[in-house]
Amino acid sequence: MRLRAFYSTILLFYNVYRARHGQPYYSLLQAIKQKVKSAVSYISDFEEELVKFARARKCDVRYEDMMMNEKPEERLCS
């Protein structure tokens, strides 16, 4: 059984269970998508703020340079 089909089956049984217990339909997949979208947005906003902060401090080090340099703090910002 493919993973996608497996999860679809689980979600189907989840809503069957909810219906039997008098609860309304709930799109669990939609809720998960919204949480992921929110997390991606948060990370994107954080990255933008980090770039603004680095530019304000006139930092010019690339990520690759930091990974190769054992003491990047010596040349991070001017």
From first to last of its 78 residues, the chain has per-residue pLDDT tens of: 587 888 888 888 888 999 999 999 988 888 989 999 999 999 999 988 988 888 888 776 566 555 555 555 555 565
Would you kindly state where each structural domain of the chain is located, as residue ranges?
A: 1-57
Q: What is the pLDDT of residue 71?
A: 56
Q: What is the pLDDT of residue 43?
A: 95
Question: With helix as H, strand as E and coil as C, how does the chain read?
Answer: CCHHHHHHHHHHHHHHHHHHCCCCCCCHHHHHHHHHHHHHHHHHHHHHHHHHHHHHCCECCCHHHHHHCCCHHHCCEC
Give pTM, 2 decimals: 0.55
Q: What is the pLDDT of residue 1?
A: 58
Q: What is the pLDDT of residue 54?
A: 83
45: its two tokens: 């906003």
